[in-house]
Amino acid sequence: MAHQSAVAHTGDNYLNHSKGLMSWLTTLDHKRIGVMYLFSVLSFFLVGGVFALLIRLELYKSGVQIVDANAYNRFFTYHGAIMVFLVIIPSIPAALGNFILPIILGAKDVAFPRLNLLSYYIFMIGATFAVAALFLRGADTGWTFYTPYSIRTNTTVILVLTGAFIAGFSSILTGLNFIVTIHKLRAPGLSWSRLPLFCWALYATSIIQVLATPVLAITLLLLIMERLFHIGIFDPKLGGDPILFQHFFWFYSHPAVYIMILPAMGIISEVIPVFCRKPMFGYKAIAYSSFGIALIAFIVWGHHMFVSGQSELANFVFSLLTMFVAVPTGVKVFSWVGTMYKGSIHFYAPMLYVFGFLELFTIGGLTGVFLATLAIDVHLTQTYFVVAHFHYVMVGGTLMALMAGLHYWFPKMTGRMYPERPAQISFWLILIGFNVTFLPQFVLGAQGMPRRYWTYLPEFTFLNRMSTVGSWFIGLGFFYAAYYFYQGMRYGKKAGPNPWNALTLEWQTPSPPPHENFIETPVVTSWPYEYLPENITMQGNS
Amino acid sequence: MSNGETALKHHHAHHFASADDEFEASKQGMWIFLVTEVLMFGGLFVAYGILKGLYPEMVHEAHKLLAVKMGAINTVVLITSSLTMALAVSSTQKGQRDRAIVYLVMTFLFACCFLVVKYFEYSAKFHHGLLPGANFTNEELKDPKSALFFSLYFMMTGLHGIHVLIGMGVIAWVLRRTIRGEFGPNFYTPVELVGFYWHFVDLVWIYLFPLLYLVG
């Protein structure tokens, strides 16, 4: 975008605009709400991560290491529920999206700032319920709450259900807010065909949030009623249908997988052209394929139920439809690679994480096609192969992109650069640690080791031990990242408005941005990925 | 009849270019919210369809115990309340504050009326042991699965009833603001949006009534 805002920096920014704790807790500024989301999500990431490390520690050897079977069931339930509902789903849209979306659109705020703050508090109330269960009798159903076990177990599953139910409304309100924001608050000249790909991705995500989450709400509500009043709709003892629960649950939770991955793809699409100094290849294809993915998301839920007693025909149709997901996903991956081709690639941390994403997400995506294949799925379902597959997608996809986005926008959010060298070391720790942890799990799964068990047969010991050691490297990498991010925030060198020499609007305003984002409303005159020979250089972070 | 001082001077929020933009954005937001409501109720309608498909005779026998007359009265009450709500919106747009107040009060009273009828219906069900799921004690119905029908009945009408209650809350809120003269031809967004919501609540009942009381 050729627009150059008058950077008459007065020193006023969103961080120092008003002071004190109350000014944060009652803020309507999307940037501050984004930052509050970010810190909350990262805290929950720590909790979920500690449970992950404990799970791996228990599996270091067969037999009891640190906990017994019951405690282990609670551990993987917490790990799953916290990571899904409190970390990965809100991470990119609610935290980075809230901060970046209005600025990248050239707007002063989201369409409904009060609703935005409300959705943060709803999220925190939901999270409080879920975390409160930790201190009571816990929950041991897994994050999927399958009936009839979830009706009978005497753990405090109701608190976790209530927590997820409430947090869901926050997700709905964020989605609603973003859709209206993208429709109504684009800067003058920012036509749909010039819309940055992060916005396209968030738009598609928001549609899924708005359409799928209410179904989860009613499902969880029915399950809560099931536990409170034994209404029997999902309870076979009373004539209800437990498979109906699975249909309802996956009608939300499969699209939810795309709530997690689509915004991640949006970040990747922003980072690649900037760090390759090349116009985006296949802009329209990437934009539209997000909607292709969102559409298919709603018609593939049955692939979670191949062995649940669905009809053969349903299995066949769901299997076929699931494979179609690979098409728009492939369109994206090839467009990204096409953008890199003959580009001038700068290997700063955001770009490294993009490479991490491409490697891990491709493995995760392709193993998804294995699992979509009926005959193979019957062998692999409920094994560690599935665990490895979705960790490659969720961690390898979403978390890698989140890290890419955090490094990319860190200068914008804090006004300072993160230290580059520690970032690169941490990246390699995480990437290598991740592969050491999860590649063996593909093998374990193919050999038949079932998921969700607290112990295993002795012949699985070596690969499990490898997996556990890998998890320490991931942990180390993330702790190191927390440390150098803090260092960068305190002592990093001043970033200036546009250290990456990027063309999207958020870089055309001071870092950190002023209270109203821009000193004067920007006017957009060109496409955001027009990297021409004259602006091919990058100041970078050395 | 006055438009109210504030209505004439309504300032749009700082991040919108104009009051029109703000109005359009609010309407769009409300439509999207209503879509989420449709999907939430949609889950219950699907559950109804599945259970009816599994046990058609049970549903048929059980539905005979619902009070069709009361349901029919409530249907008329809600449709009329939708009319008064629409009239309240159009009066506000025309700047006829006194009429708008009358129509909003009427809408509120119709909503009360609906809940009173619902109260009598629920009490009769409790009295005959027609309770959801495991609490079902009625002996008239032979099929032990009949409890499931009443689970659905109470979940669907209960969730709808909560929506009516919330509707009464927001109607009272716009009524109060109308009395204070905050709305007029230049600014009536909250009245219009409450109207959207109220019509939706009405519409859900239009589906619930035949599905539960008539078709069985």
**Contact B32/A109, CB-based, under 8 Å?**
no
- Please count the CA atoms within 13 angstroms of the CA of B76 that sit on its side-chain side: 6
For residues A255 and A262, what is the distance between their CA atoms, to the nearest angstrom?
10
Closest partner residue to A176 (CB to CB) among B21, B32, B133 is B32
For residues A345 and A277, what is the distance between their CA atoms, to the nearest angstrom?
7
Q: Which residues of B touch A212 (CB under 8 A)?
A: 39
The nearest CA of chain A is from the CA of B175 a distance in Å of 22
Query: Average pLDDT, stretch B139-150?
Result: 86
- Of A85-99, A144-158, A414-428, the one with minimum mean pLDDT is A144-158
Residue A5 has pLDDT above 70, yes or no: no
**Contact A210/B43, CB-based, under 8 Å?**
no
Task: Give the confidence band of B1 by pLDDT, cuts at 50, 70, 90.
Answer: very low
Closest partner residue to A225 (CB to CB) among B24, B40, B155 is B155
Q: Which residue in A has a C-alpha nearest to residue B17's C-alpha?
A: A185
Phi, then psi, of A514 in degrees rounded to 5: -65, 170
The nearest CA of chain B is from the CA of A108 a distance in Å of 5
Task: Give the confidence band of A12 by pLDDT, cuts at 50, 70, 90.
Answer: confident
For residues B176 and B179, what is the distance between their CA atoms, to the nearest angstrom?
5
Contacts of B135 (CB under 8 A, 6+ apart): A229, A230, B147
Query: Average pLDDT, stretch A393-408?
Result: 96
Residue B174 has pLDDT above 80, yes or no: yes
**Contact A230/B41, CB-based, under 8 Å?**
no
Q: What pLDDT does residue B134 have? A: 79
- Residue type at position A211: L
**Contact A180/B32, CB-based, under 8 Å?**
yes
Residue A97 has pLDDT above 50, yes or no: yes
Contacts of A274 (CB under 8 A, 6+ apart): A408, A500, A501, A502, A503, A531, A538
The nearest CA of chain A is from the CA of B1 a distance in Å of 32
- Give yes or no for A468 touching B (CB within 8 A): no
- Of A115-119, A137-141, A507-511, B114-118, the one with minimum mean pLDDT is A137-141
Candidates B26, B38, B40: best to mutate against A (most CBs of A within 10 A) is B40
Task: Give the confidence band of A154 by pLDDT, cuts at 50, 70, 90.
Answer: confident
- Give yes or no for A111 touching B (CB within 8 A): yes
Q: What pLDDT does residue A534 have? A: 66
For residues B72 and B70, what is the distance between their CA atoms, to the nearest angstrom?
5
Instruction: Quote the mean pLDDT of chain B.
Output: 91
The nearest CA of chain B is from the CA of A417 a distance in Å of 29
The nearest CA of chain B is from the CA of A110 a distance in Å of 8
Q: Which residues of B touch A231 (CB under 8 A)?
A: 132-134, 148, 151, 154-155
A485-522: pLDDT as tens digits: 999 999 999 999 999 999 999 999 999 999 999 988 89
**Chain-centre distance for alpha carbon A110:** 21
Of residues B7 and A105, more confidently modeled: A105
**Contact B151/A185, CB-based, under 8 Å?**
no
Q: What pLDDT does residue B6 have? A: 45
Structural domains in chain A, sorted by start: 27-534 (1.20.210.10)
**Contact B155/A222, CB-based, under 8 Å?**
yes
Task: Give the confidence band of B10 by pLDDT, cuts at 50, 70, 90.
Answer: low
For residues B85 and B108, what is the distance between their CA atoms, to the nearest angstrom?
9
Q: What pLDDT does residue B7 have? A: 45
Closest partner residue to B40 (CB to CB) among A217, A233, A244 is A217
**Contact B133/A211, CB-based, under 8 Å?**
no
Residue A170 has pLDDT above 60, yes or no: yes
Closest partner residue to A231 (CB to CB) among B21, B29, B132 is B132
Of chain A residues 168-187, which have a CB less than 8 A from chain B? 172, 176-177, 179-180, 183-185
Select the CATH number that applies to the domain covering B17-215 from these four: 2.60.120.280, 1.20.120.80, 1.20.120.50, 1.10.150.120. 1.20.120.80
**Contact A229/B145, CB-based, under 8 Å?**
no
Query: Average pLDDT, stretch A243-257?
Result: 94
Query: Average pLDDT, stretch B148-160?
Result: 94
B187-198: pLDDT as tens digits: 999 999 999 999
> Which residues of B touch chain A, with CB atoms under 8 Å apart?
13-16, 21, 24-25, 28-29, 32-33, 35-37, 39-44, 46-47, 50-51, 54-55, 132-135, 144-145, 147-148, 151-152, 154-155, 159
Q: What dihedral angle (degrees, nearest 10) is formed by the CA atoms of B10, B11, B15, B16?
A: 50
The nearest CA of chain B is from the CA of A216 a distance in Å of 8
Q: State the ipTM, two decimals.
A: 0.90
Candidates A517, A534, A431, A383; CA nearest to A5 is A517
Burial A406-415 (b: 16+ CB within 10 A, else e): bbbbbbbbbb
Residue A225 has pLDDT above 60, yes or no: yes
The nearest CA of chain A is from the CA of B82 a distance in Å of 25
Q: What pLDDT does residue A540 have? A: 77
Task: Give the confidence band of A190 by pLDDT, cuts at 50, 70, 90.
Answer: very high
Q: Which residues of A touch B153 (CB under 8 A)?
A: none
The nearest CA of chain A is from the CA of B23 a distance in Å of 10
A19-28: pLDDT as tens digits: 889 999 999 9
- Give yes or no for A132 touching B (CB within 8 A): no
CB A270 within 8 A of CB A183: no
Residue A183 has pLDDT above 70, yes or no: yes
Residue A347 has pLDDT above 60, yes or no: yes
The three-class DSSP label of residue B184 is: strand
Burial A451-473 (b: 16+ CB within 10 A, else e): beebbbeeebeebbebbbebbbb
Contacts of B85 (CB under 8 A, 6+ apart): B103, B104, B107, B171, B194, B195, B198, B199
Candidates B174, B168, B27, B188; CA nearest to A112 is B27
Q: What pLDDT does residue B4 have? A: 41
**Contact A214/B47, CB-based, under 8 Å?**
no
Query: Average pLDDT, stretch A189-194?
Result: 96
The model's pTM: 0.93
Q: Which residues of B touch A218 (CB under 8 A)?
A: 40-44
List chain B domain ranges.
17-215
Task: Give the confidence band of A63 by pLDDT, cuts at 50, 70, 90.
Answer: confident
* Residue A311: both structure tokens together: 């009809």
Q: What pLDDT does residue A4 have? A: 42
